Amino acid sequence: MKDKFIFWRTSSWGLSLLLVLPILAIFVTAMGESDDVFAHLLNTVMGTYTANTFWLVVGTLLLALLFGLPSAWIMAMCRIPGEKVLQWLLVLPLAMPGYIVGYIYTDWFDYAGPIQIFLRDSFGWQSVHDYWFPDIRSLGGACFVLALVLYPYIYLLARAAFMEQSVSLLQSARLLRCSPWESFRRISLPLARPSIAVGMSLVAMETLGDFGTVSYFAVNTLTTAVYDTWLGYSNLNAAAKISAIMLVVIFLLISAERFSRRKQKLFQQQFEHGDDVRYTLTGTKKWLAMMWCWGLVSLAFIFPILQLGYYAFHYFAESWTTEFQQYSINSLFVSIVAAVIAVCVALVVNFYCRLDGRSKTAIPLRLSSLGYAVPGTVLAIGVMIPLTSADHMVNDLARDWGLGRPGLIFSGTMVAIIFAFVVRFAAVAIGSVESSLAKIPPSLDMASKTMGFASTAMLRRVHLPLIRRGCLIAGLLVFIESMKELNAALLLRPFNFETLATYVFNFASDEQLELAALPAILLVVVGLVPLVMVNRSLEQKH
């Protein structure tokens, strides 16, 4: 029977090693002979870049906790007017790319923005020397903007954890006359700590990998160091060393999060149907809760999307160009291809794991998912190293055979972007397909074998019809994530090739936010799809 798995075993291991190759390439290149560029960076600016990165992550985490945790507890444990609408609206900022919100807030709060102009006109101030106003283009401003778009990670996970807590514990707290604050501090918060830790790790990794926001705000971090070293100094070796440092930090963050809850086990009864132990807020508490939630939604989503809509409406003729249409087609093409490939990879590694059933067969599945933890800028370095080597190999072979030089057929074409998207987002497809396959009873597999079905026929005639919806969701999620990806596309795009994300970034970087509004709205609308799906599944569970 094991001989029948040769195709699936070979394919699964081959695909997983291919997807983990960029990560291995970064470490192999980083361990190579050092050069003067990296030594110069290490002796001059690397300390500043590292400190900025550390404080950016810490500041964003603290603000994301401040935004997400109270909102999650209010939505899960309190009754306020409009809560059904707020439950959805509080998730929507996650669909806003951080660099777009950063451009809008800079446009508002800069010296030439409407807010400072209004203050100068109202109070008679003549110049910046007459008053003090916080600089939005600073480390603190970057933390604030990133926290606004990333707090939903903490909100979603913390809210789900609060909703799953035992009714008996909460009722016991009320019988002991615990106030809502004491109930939150002594019961709800400790029980939700694992979920909050996962949300914080996601926020930290997204912050660590951000390039668009910190670049526009002129905050030099390790991510911008990778970009500048590669394109500014044209030194791939030094960029790989910085990327390896970032990867080590990311893996340490993930390991620390898992180690912190290694012995923590929670056994609790969820809210039973019909049980409602939420607090009914009245008076000042009700208005404060509503002001907090609506204010957060307004700052993070409503005001920015209204501003984009205003620009898109008034500059529609200038925005609706042949370039915009062509770049939209480019994004659609590479995202669709990446989604199809990612779903195929997910099917192969998950089906092999199901066929064999031994613990070691899960190794390819886990290896294929490692790329999701790698920032796009770092991943671009890892993708470029093996693809460049493959280009040299193909050109050398073609020259030896007298066929001429075909050129950069891997690193200089859409192959690089598509490969990066598959490596980055294959984990999303793998998780969706894995959960769908887990719902199919093993008895169907045994019945198929009894009827003489080979493994390929079993997948085609039994499993695929049953997991079709999961595959469609997996492809949709990878497609949406690929449409929004900026970092990898910015570094790996071929000449005269743009995606919607890079198109928006280029316009906004040139202070032409009005012309970037229409494609930015399209990216936001596309990003809303997975949020609706996640929130709907959360509502169905509860």
pLDDT at 541 exceeding the cut of 60: no
pLDDT at 433 exceeding the cut of 70: yes
What's the pTM value of the predicted model, to 2 decimals? Answer: 0.82
Q: How many domains does the chain have?
A: 2
Answer yes or no: do 153 and 14 share one domain: no
> In this predicted model, what pLDDT tens digit does every residue of 461-502 receive, in sequence order?
777 888 888 888 788 878 888 888 888 888 888 888 889 889
- In the prediction, which pLDDT does 1 show? 42
Answer yes or no: do 194 and 329 share one domain: no
Answer yes or no: do 157 and 297 share one domain: yes
Mean pLDDT of the chain: 82
The conformation of residue 439, written as its DSSP 8-state character, comes to T
CATH number at residue 471: 1.10.3720.10
Beta pairing partners, 78: 279
- Final residue in a domain of this structure, among 302, 333, 360: 302
Answer yes or no: do 219 and 320 share one domain: no
Q: Is residue 241, in this structure, part of any structural domain at all?
A: no
Answer yes or no: do 14 and 79 share one domain: no
Answer yes or no: do 433 and 339 share one domain: yes
360: Cα within 13 Å, side-chain hemisphere: 2
d(CA 184, CA 170): 10
Q: Is residue 381, in this structure, part of any structural domain at all?
A: yes
CA distances to 30, 150, 237, 249, 264 from 242, in Å? 8, 25, 9, 11, 35
Answer yes or no: do 298 and 374 share one domain: no
- Host domain of residue 146: 44-227+255-302
- In the prediction, which pLDDT does 3 show? 46
The conformation of residue 402, written as its DSSP 8-state character, comes to T
> In this predicted model, what pLDDT tens digit does every residue of 437-451 receive, in sequence order?
877 777 777 777 777
Backbone angles phi, psi at 79, to 5 degrees: -110, 120
pLDDT at 299 exceeding the cut of 90: yes
Backbone angles phi, psi at 280, to 5 degrees: -95, 110
Cβ–Cβ < 8 Å for 343, 478: yes
Answer yes or no: do 335 and 270 share one domain: no
Answer yes or no: do 122 and 139 share one domain: yes
Considering Cα of 440, then 15, then 526, then 486, what sign does the dihedral take? Answer: positive
Q: Is residue 194, in this structure, part of any structural domain at all?
A: yes
389-402 average pLDDT score: 85
CB-CB neighbours of 255 under 10 Å: 10
Considering Cα of 437, then 438, then 444, then 450, what sign does the dihedral take? Answer: positive
Answer yes or no: do 289 and 316 share one domain: no
445-460 average pLDDT score: 74
Count of H helices and E strands in the chain? 27, 2
Higher pLDDT, 396 or 174: 396
Cβ–Cβ < 8 Å for 32, 237: yes
Cβ–Cβ < 8 Å for 258, 37: no
| Residue whose structure tokens are 């997910």 | 346
5-25 average pLDDT score: 88
Answer yes or no: do 282 and 372 share one domain: no
Q: Is residue 18, in this structure, part of any structural domain at all?
A: yes
- In the prediction, which pLDDT does 463 show? 78
- In the prediction, which pLDDT does 276 show? 58
The conformation of residue 315, written as its DSSP 8-state character, comes to T
Answer yes or no: do 18 and 68 share one domain: no
pLDDT band at 267 (very low <50, low <70, confident <90, very high): very low
pLDDT band at 8 (very low <50, low <70, confident <90, very high): confident
392-412 average pLDDT score: 83
- In the prediction, which pLDDT does 243 show? 86
Cβ–Cβ < 8 Å for 365, 350: yes
